[in-house]
């Protein structure tokens, strides 16, 4: 998946360093696909060896920087990969791992764990709302519209998925918190 993201970021002629690509991912795809410099660097090397990318080294401010560009072969590979079915996603939620072993915690610890998790969800939702607002402001600032930059529609769609997803998590874990309280009351009867 990291290769698809990197090729997609370079697809429209953008040339970027590893750092540029990492920062771009932090502002966009990081919310649904984690990536580290430790995974980006080997992916770039592998794709360059496969002929999907070229690189050019430049000295800037007495520092050597390596810029990557997508090749026509890379674009063809990206187009092919984008059209593949990736199959269903596996559900990955670290909080569910903790819940799986909640029998080892007191009710107070369980509720504290959920409260901390719910606070994190709220912070993430605020951040996504901020990205949504500032993204639309930047489009206006740069004179970009959905007609002149159609990719923005789809990028905003992924942001809205994130907002819906975190709202679902907030609802589910809040309801589960109440379930734990009710179970405790029933057990004490």
pLDDT tens track for 83-132 = 998 888 877 888 999 999 999 999 999 999 999 999 999 999 999 998 88
Q: What is the 3-state secondary structure (H, E, C) of 28-55?
A: CHHHCCCCCHHHHHHHHHHHHHCCCEEE
Q: What is the pLDDT of residues 18-40, one digit of tens each?
A: 888 898 888 778 777 778 888 89
In percent, how much of the chain has pLDDT > 90?
52
**Which residues lie closer than 8 Å to 108 by C-beta, 6 or more apart?**
none
Q: What is the pLDDT of residues 135-144, one digit of tens each?
A: 888 888 878 8
- Beta-bridged to residue 65, according to DSSP, are 58
d(CA 52, CA 50): 6
Mean residue pLDDT of the chain comes to 90
Q: What is the mean pLDDT of residues 5-17?
A: 86
Q: At residue 5, does pLDDT exceed 80?
A: yes
- Per-residue CA distances from 141 to 24, 38, 127 (Å): 19, 34, 20
DSSP code at position 118: H
pLDDT of residue 56: 92
Q: What is the pLDDT of residues 37-81, one digit of tens each?
A: 888 999 999 999 999 999 998 888 888 899 999 999 999 999 999
Q: What is the pLDDT of residues 149-164, one digit of tens each?
A: 888 888 889 999 999 9
d(CA 127, CA 120): 11
d(CA 35, CA 32): 10
SS3 percent helix, strand, coil of the chain, rounded to 5, is 70, 10, 25
d(CA 20, CA 61): 16
């Amino acid at each position: 998946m990291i290769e698809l993201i990197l090729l997609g970021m370079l697809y429209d002629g953008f040339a970027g360093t590893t750092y540029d690509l990492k920062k771009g991912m932090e502002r966009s795809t990081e919310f649904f696909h984690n990536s580290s410099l430790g995974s980006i660097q080997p992916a770039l090397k592998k794709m360059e060896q496969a002929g999907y990318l070229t690189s050019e080294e430049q000295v800037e401010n007495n520092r050597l920087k390596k810029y990557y560009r997508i090749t026509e072969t890379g674009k063809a590979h990206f187009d092919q990969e984008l059209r593949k079915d990736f199959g269903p996603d596996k559900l990955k939620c670290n909080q569910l791992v903790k819940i799986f072993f909640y029998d080892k915690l007191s009710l107070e610890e369980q509720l504290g764990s959920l409260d901390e998790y719910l606070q994190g969800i709220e912070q993430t939702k605020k951040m996504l709302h901020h990205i949504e607002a500032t993204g639309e402001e930047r489009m206006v600032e740069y004179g970009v519209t959905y007609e002149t930059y159609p990719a923005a529609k789809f990028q905003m769609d992924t942001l809205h998925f994130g907002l819906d997803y975190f709202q679902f998590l907030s609802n589910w874990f809040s309801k589960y918190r109440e379930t734990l309280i009710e179970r405790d009351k029933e057990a004490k009867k």
